[in-house]
Structure 1
Amino acid sequence: MKLLRPVHRLALKLPDYEKFDLASQLRRASKSIPANVAEGYGKRRSSKQFRAYLENALGSTDEVIIHLEIALVLEYVIQEESQELIAQYRVVGKMLSRLIEKSHW
């Protein structure tokens, strides 16, 4: 949840013509990560079901990373800002991957 605010602030810096495209996708993907983890935890009737939600969260993590990389390549954001967020989302991805591996109970 700590990463939501910086991602949303970064999305506000994108050009107006990206507000309904890249900015929207970035915001939605960033919110999808904790939502999928929470929903999966709430519906953990089976490890397979929980794992599916975690895999969706991992996919959203990858989506945030690629959108941040796109914003950087298109020079919408400065490298330091986007690289720090990318690094943090990679950590989230590794954490989710480990949780997926251990979700067999």
Structure 2
Amino acid sequence: MKSHKDLDIYNLAFEYAVEVHKLTLKLPKYELYEQGSQVRRSSKSIKDNIIEGYGRKAYKNDFIKFLIYAYASLLECKSQLEMISQLYPDLEVESMIVKYDELGAKIYKFTNYVESNWKTNR
């Protein structure tokens, strides 16, 4: 890996954050700064924590810590999407929830890989 962009989990998290951002622009105006803002921040936090962890990849425990933060942000994002799904069923966010379930599994597997196989000099 030469860059965080070589990580499938980063690329998916980035793609989904863009999708969530666009989706939230369809919310009623009064929700743009409430539910919309919260889900946008949590979706972007996933990719940001993956990047920050990758930036600390020389320190295995730091890398793992930020992957766990990314997973936690994913759970928050998914919870926000589930709320939006209940409040605004016309937006059809179910496919995003499924995508985040799949990304969560990938982050979990990658975290396990790093825990078991990651070699550092420090």
Task: Please confirm whether the aligned pair reaches a TM-score higher than 0.5, indicating the same fold.
Answer: yes
Q: Considering only aligned residues, what root-mean-square deviation do their CA atoms show, in Å? A: 1.3
| Alignment correspondent of 2:42 | 29
Tell which structure's C-alpha radius of gyration is larger.
2
Stretches of structure 2 that go unaligned for 5 or more consecutive residues are 1-13
Residues in 2 aligned to 1:55 and 1:47: alpha-carbon distance in whole angstroms = 12
> Structure 1: which 4+ aligned runs deviate by more than 6 Å?
none
TM-score (norm 1): 0.90
Residues in 1 aligned to 2:18 and 2:111: alpha-carbon distance in whole angstroms = 26
TM-score (norm 2): 0.78
Residues in 1 aligned to 2:61 and 2:37: alpha-carbon distance in whole angstroms = 30
- How far apart are residue 32 of structure 1 and its match? 0.8
From 6, 16, 20, the equivalent of 2:33 is: 20
| Alignment correspondent of 1:85 | 96
SS of residue in 1 equivalent to 2:114: coil
Stretches of structure 1 that go unaligned for 5 or more consecutive residues are none
Residues in 1 aligned to 2:101 and 2:16: alpha-carbon distance in whole angstroms = 12
Deviations along 1:3-48, whole A, 9 cap, x unmatched? Answer: 1222111111112221211100111111111111111001123221
% identical aligned pairs: 35
Residues in 2 aligned to 1:35 and 1:6: alpha-carbon distance in whole angstroms = 16
